[in-house]
Amino acid sequence: MKFHFLYTIISIALCSRLLISCAQKPSETIEIRGVYGSPKPFWDKELNLHDLGVNSIFVHSGSIDHDMVKRAKAEGLSVYAEFATLNGKNYVEKYPEAWAINEKGEKVEAASWFMGACPTEPGFRQYRFEQLRKLLLEYDLDGVWMDYVHWHAQFEDLEPILPETCFCHHCLKTFSKDSEIEVPDGTIPQKADWILNNQDNAWREWRCKVIYDWTFEMKSIIKEIKPEALLGLYHCPWNDNEFDNARYRILGLDYDLLKETIDVFSPMVYHGRMERDPNWVKENIEWFSNRLNIKKNAYPKVWPIVQAHNSPGVVSKEEFEIVLKGGLAGESSGVMMFTTSAVAEDKDKIAVMKKIYTNLREKSTD
């Protein structure tokens, strides 16, 4: 695989966009008051999202249609598509060459609801990039948010699933070529054991570059088809120490690489799923802002996604208010919540969201 490190070009492009943005909205600090999920649960209740203070919707790409986009735009909303990047569910069953392989030489099992495809498999890469092109050409989108952007694992649970992957023949061959490291002959378990014991640092670095390359290619396609659209990233919110730095070591997320291509980071600070105190959201976003040296009026930006969904347990209206405000901590310039249905079905949560979002709107400019 050929990796791309055209940092200078990307930086110039981002700086140009920043100058335009600042010139157009000099007083705005909170840009995004978002909801995640189809807006239909609100519309079914005859609620206008603009009246609730919402100015952006983030919707799974498979749920977007022209009527939705037309109505959202009519209500003054920005439309962002979630793009399930490395989720290979249904794909790997049909194309087993894209199935991730663990250090034992075995096909990985699905991690809860996630089935990660091998990130280096050429056919899968081509399949996803073609999907992105069609999406951008079909709909008037303000941006695309990459989701499931990590090697096969599951981080959203209290007890995360963190396997060692991927040791398929294509990954082994590509790692050896890209890193200029000759892996001794042997079985997959033997090769995996040699790498993990002799070239662990190089292996972890290479895996992060593989993920970075996905963001680079996505960014390139967006710039080609719709240059003004943003590239966002839903991602694991762990800091550099949690689970022995598994965010970097297992998931393959290197913030110092990703900040060169990602316009907006959206940490998935789901306090309920991870059994964290609601105040952890504020602490995490403050840490993240410092870690990446985020500035409200510069790229990359941070727009976290917080939990409103009642699973596990119940997220009370009080908790929802804490995490929604917590998502605006640090240098965050936007926030969204998961999910639309979880809020639309609860009048108290609707009231909380409306209060916070309309207050933000009064202090900002759309």
pLDDT confidence band for 10 (50 / 70 / 90): very low
Global confidence as pTM: 0.91
Which pLDDT value is given to residue 1?
53
Count of domains forming the chain: 1
Kindly state whether residue 272 falls inside one of the protein's structural domains.
Answer: no
- Domain membership of residue 149 (yes or no) is yes
pLDDT at 197: 98
Task: Give per-residue pLDDT as tens, 78-120.
Answer: 999 999 999 999 999 999 999 999 999 999 999 888 999 999 9
Is residue 290 one of the residues assigned to a domain? yes
Judged against a pLDDT cut of 70, whether residue 22 lies above it is answered with no
pLDDT tens digit sequence for 64-76:
999 999 999 999 9
The backbone region for 359, taken as left when phi is positive above 0, alpha when psi lies in -120 to 50, beta otherwise, is alpha
Kindly state whether residue 221 falls inside one of the protein's structural domains.
yes
Please identify which residue in the block is written with the tokens 């709909």.
139
- 289 has which bridge partners? none
Q: Check pLDDT > 70 for residue 12.
A: no
The 3-state DSSP class for residue 333 equals coil
Percent of the chain with pLDDT over 70: 92
Place of tokens 């309309």: 358
> What CATH number did the domain enclosing 224 receive?
3.20.20.80
**Residues 25-73 pLDDT 10s:** 333 589 999 999 999 999 999 999 999 999 999 999 999 999 999 999 9
The percent of residues above 90 in pLDDT, for the chain, comes to 87
Q: What is the pLDDT of residues 198-228, one digit of tens each?
A: 999 999 999 999 999 999 999 999 999 999 9
Looking at the domain assignment, is residue 187 inside a domain? no
The string of pLDDT tens digits covering residues 224-251 is: 999 999 999 999 999 999 999 999 999 9
Beta partners for 321? none
The answer to whether 48 and 333 have CB atoms below 8 angstroms apart is: no
Residue 123 domain boundaries:
26-101+112-158+211-266+279-303+349-363
Residue 294 lies in a domain: yes
Rounded Cα–Cα distance for residues 150 and 130 (Å): 20
With respect to residue 153, please indicate whether it lies within any of the assigned structural domains.
yes
Q: Is the pLDDT of residue 7 over 70?
A: no
Q: Does residue 190 lie in a domain region? A: no
Read off the tokens for 41: 């649960």
Give tens-digit pLDDT for 299-308: 999 999 999 9
At 130-187, the pLDDT tens digits run: 999 999 999 999 999 999 999 999 998 889 999 999 999 999 999 999 999 999 999 9
Half-sphere exposure of 133 (CA within 13 A, CB side): 10
Q: Is 294 exposed, middle or buried (0-12, 13-18, 19+ CB in 10 A)?
A: buried
